[in-house]
Amino acid sequence: MKAWQVHRFCEPNEMTLEDVPVPSPGDGEVLIRNHAAGLNFFDILLIQGKYQVRPPFPFSPGREGAGIVEAVGAGVSGISVGDRVMADVETGSYAEYSIADATQVWPIPDGMSFAEASGFLVVYQTSYLALLLRANLQPGEWLLVHAGASGVGMSAIQIGKAAGARIIATAGSQQKLAFCTAQGAEHVVNYRDEIWVDRIKEITGGSGADVIYDPVGGDVFDLSTKCIAPQGRLVVVGFAGGRIPTIAANRVLLKNMSVVGSYYGRYSKEHPGFFADTQRQLVEWYREGKVRPVASNTYPLEEAPLALADLAARRVAGKAALLIPA
What pTM was estimated for this model as a whole?
A: 0.93
Which top CATH class is 2-120+293-323? alpha beta
Which residues have a Cβ under 8 Å from the Cβ of 140 and sit 6 or more positions away?
A: 164, 165, 166
Q: Phi first, then psi: give them for residue 37, nearest 5 degrees.
A: -130, 130
Average pLDDT, the chain: 95
pLDDT grade, residue 52 (50/70/90)?
confident
Q: What sign does the dihedral 35-2-51-243 (CA atoms) show?
A: negative
pLDDT tens, position by position, 150-192 = 999 999 999 999 999 999 999 999 999 999 999 999 999 999 9
The residue-averaged pLDDT of 231-243 equals: 91
Please report the DSSP string for 57-118 in residue order.
SSB---SEEEEEEEEE-TT--S--TT-EEEEE-SS--SBSEEEEEGGGEEEPPTT--HHHHT
CA distance 268 to 233: 21
Which pLDDT score, from 0 to 100, does residue 240 have?
Answer: 83
Assigned fold of 123-265: Rossmann fold (3.40.50)
Which residues have a Cβ under 8 Å from the Cβ of 216 and sit 6 or more positions away?
A: 146, 147, 238, 239, 240, 241
Q: Which of 160, 162, 157 is nearest to 171 (CA)?
A: 157
Q: What is the dihedral of CA 82, 85, 90, 96, to 10 degrees?
A: 50
Task: Name the amino acid, one letter, at 281.
Answer: Q
Please state, as a whole number, how many other Cβ atoms lie within 10 Å of the Cβ of residue 191: 20
The residue-averaged pLDDT of 93-111 equals: 96
Domain boundaries, the chain: 2-120+293-323, 123-265
Which residues have a Cβ under 8 Å from the Cβ of 257 and sit 6 or more positions away?
A: 225, 228, 230, 231, 232, 233, 234, 251
pLDDT greater than 80 at residue 61 = yes
pLDDT tens, position by position, 121-138 = 999 999 999 999 999 999
CA distance 24 to 29: 9
Instruction: Give Rg (Cα) of the chain.
Output: 20
Helix (H, G, I), strand (E, B) or coil at 273: helix
